[in-house]
Amino acid sequence: MYDPVQIAIKEIHERKCPLSVIRQIPGSVNNDHPIVYIERWPVNQMVIPLDYI
């Protein structure tokens, strides 16, 4: 069974060019602000919807 999301992520990790991906995590119980952090992924002219990350 093929998961297109996992395939896309696997292909991203096999590329060479850097990509900064900003991800947001919902705020904790005591803080309504979302937690934001940046990941660096190898990528080569490849974009996938952030909904899948």
- Output phi, psi for 49, to 5 deg: -60, 140
pLDDT at 3: 75
Q: 24, 34 in Cβ contact below 8 A?
A: yes
Q: Could you state, in order of their start, the residue ranges of all structural domains in the chain? A: 4-48
pLDDT at 6: 72
pLDDT at 16: 46
pLDDT at 37: 59
Helices (H), the chain: 4-13
Span 1-53, pLDDT tens digits: 567 667 666 766 666 445 555 555 555 555 555 556 556 555 554 555 555 54
